[in-house]
Copies of this chain bind each other. A is one copy, B any other.
Amino acid sequence: MNDQSRPKRNRPPSMYDVARLAGVSQTTVSFVVNNVTSAAISQETRDRVWAAIHALGWRPNAVARSLRTRHSQTLGLISDEVVTSPYAVRMILGAQEAAWNNRQMLLVVNTSGQQDIEQTALQFMLERQVEGLIYATMYHHEVTPPTGITTVPTILVNCFVADRSLPAIIPDEVQGGYTATETLILRGHRRIAFINEIIPMPALFGRLEGYRRALTDYGLPFDQSLVRSCHSNAQDAFSAARDLLERPDRPTAIFCFNDKMAMGVYDAIKRLGLRIPQDVAVIGFDNLELIAAQLYPPLTTIELPHYEMGKRAVELLQSLPAGESLPPTQHYIPCPLIERASV
């Protein structure tokens, strides 16, 4: 039971233990570990220190360092349902990878949309001294974040506040709708239907706006009867598509509000014995791999740039000089076309 040269108590070795073993001061250890250039430590000393570190299996204690430096190297991510939704997990990935590149880590909490959890989560994160906060939502909509969120640099992702007083990163729905429609037009389609979402939300208005603008730009008439609204699920889209396709002057292309709807549209087209894309072309929105790549033929669609949004959010936070906060810019991220085989 002798404790010869063992670290004190039962704790993991501290820098002090390393210093003792190496026969130097704790300061010196800190200098060599952190490669402090202002203090030129002799190579011989460095070697002794590293040897002691390895002998002891010492590992820096980031908590102690954070306390001292007042830098937690941590970013907080509060989301409503993002984590439960395949739509947007890539947002977390983008944020996490960007954080990683800066030696930061991500503290995540999912609030399931509950206000009280949201408020508590914010408190917990602030207590943990996060250096920046991302407030993200599953689908693009207006929000009122918990009070006190601006205590630390914050950025909204996939959402915005009514008065646009907080910086936000949101998908460019208009461009997305435009690109989808334009893609169809450039393939020669003239009668392009649009099966839109029915519940009012930015995506609905933005994509419709893009659809109209593209028609206008290419000199095509806007035909109200070609635009249908329904809930964004395969079932309802199936009915909408069937109605559209049973008309004598049926559209030759259908732009779907999202990939789930495209699934129903595929069913309707096949049921009528028509072929995709020869008889009717289909373009979706979201780029849900799971659906888009599995459908036959694989679905051409517009991607919601989740990864990019997460990445940009973190990069913006990192670009900030200490103590400042981000200007309330609304960053619109383009929604790229993902070509597969349905157009």
Contact = CB atoms under 8 A, between A and B. Distances in A.
A126 interface: yes
A127 B291 contact: no
A83 B72 contact: no
A127 B83 contact: no
A315 interface: no
Which residue, A103, A263, A294, A295, has most C-beta atoms of chain B within 10 A? A294
Interface stretch (A47-55, A63-71, A160-168): A63-71
B109 A109 contact: no
Interface in A83-125: 83-86, 89-90, 92-93, 96-97, 100, 103, 105-110, 117, 123-125
A340 interface: no
Nearest to A263: B294
A86 B83 contact: no
Given A107-B106, A296-B264, A127 B61 contact: yes
Nearest to A77: B108
B84 A89 contact: yes
A290 interface: yes
A234 B96 contact: no
Contacts of A128: 62-63, 105
A129 interface: yes
A209 interface: no
B290 A267 contact: no
A155 to B, nearest CB: 19
A300 to B, nearest CB: 16
A238 interface: yes
B234 A86 contact: no
A184 B170 CA distance: 46
A122 B145 CA distance: 33
A156 interface: no
Contacts of A109: 96, 100, 105-106
Given A86-B290, A234-B295, A264-B296, A129 B61 contact: yes
Contact of A296 (B59, B103, B117, B235): B235
A270 interface: yes
B108 A96 contact: yes
Contacts of A107: 74, 105-107
Which residue, A62, A93, A124, has most C-beta atoms of chain B within 10 A? A62
A93 B60 CA distance: 30
Contacts of A90: 84
A233 interface: yes
A240 interface: no
B89 A93 contact: no
B84 A93 contact: yes
A240 to B, nearest CB: 14
Q: For the complex of A and B, list the 6 residue pairs with the smallest distance between their C-beta atoms, beginning with the closest.
A: A86-B86, A234-B294, A62-B127, A62-B128, A63-B66, A63-B67
Interface of A: 11, 59-64, 66-67, 70, 72, 74, 83-86, 89-90, 92-93, 96-97, 100, 103, 105-110, 117, 123-129, 233-235, 238, 260, 263-264, 267, 270-271, 288, 290-291, 293-296
